[in-house]
Amino acid sequence: MSHFGKSGPPDIRDTYSLLVLNITFRTTADDLFPLFDKYGKVVDVFIPRDRRTGDSRGFAFVRYKYADEAQKAVEKLDGRVVDGREIMVQFAKYGPNAERIQKGRIVETTSKEGGRSRSRSPRPRSGSF
C-alpha cells in the first residue's frame, strides 16, 4: 500500500515546515530559496503578506521534504544575518497555518464594536477576502 508513485503536489504531512522570523520587508522568497536550498530539498517558500497593503509581514515559511535537512537548516541558518537582519529559524509548530496563530485573533476580528457580533456570521473560514 505504498503511495510513492503518486503524482501531484507533495502531501503536507510529508513535509517539514520551518518558520523564519525577523526577515526584512524587502526579503523575497527568491532571496530565501537559495539560502535554504543549500541544506536540502526545499518544497516551497511562502511569505505571508498583509491583505490590505500587500506588504510582507516580516516572516516566512520554508518547507523541506526531509526532516533531517530541515533540522540542518535550523542549525545553520538560525541567527544568520540576511539583508542586515539576524533571522530566527525554527520548526513551525502548525505547518503553513502557523501564521494564523502568529498574528493572534485580535487583528482578524473587529471585536471592538459589539463584542459578540461575530457569532451571527457563520461563514466558513476561507481566507478569500
Q: What is the pLDDT of residue 94?
A: 56
Q: Give burial (CB, 10 Å; 0-12/13-18/19+) of 20.
A: buried
pTM, two decimals, is 0.63
Q: Which of 105, 97, 110, 12 is closest to 61 using CA atoms?
A: 97
Q: What is the pLDDT of residue 24?
A: 94
Buried b (16+ CB within 10 A) or exposed e, 66-78: eeebbbebbeebe
| Long-range contacts formed by 99-105: CB under 8 A, 24+ apart | 99/48, 99/57, 99/59, 99/61, 102/19, 102/59, 103/57
Q: Roughly how many angstroms between the first and final C-alpha of the chain, as a whole number?
A: 40
Architecture of domain 12-105: 2-Layer Sandwich (3.30)
- Interval 93-110: pLDDT, tens: 754 554 444 444 444 444
Q: Which of 100, 89, 103, 98 is closest to 20 using CA atoms?
A: 89
The full set of domain ranges for the chain reads 12-105
- Interval 10-58: pLDDT, tens: 455 678 999 999 999 999 999 999 999 999 999 999 999 999 999 999 9
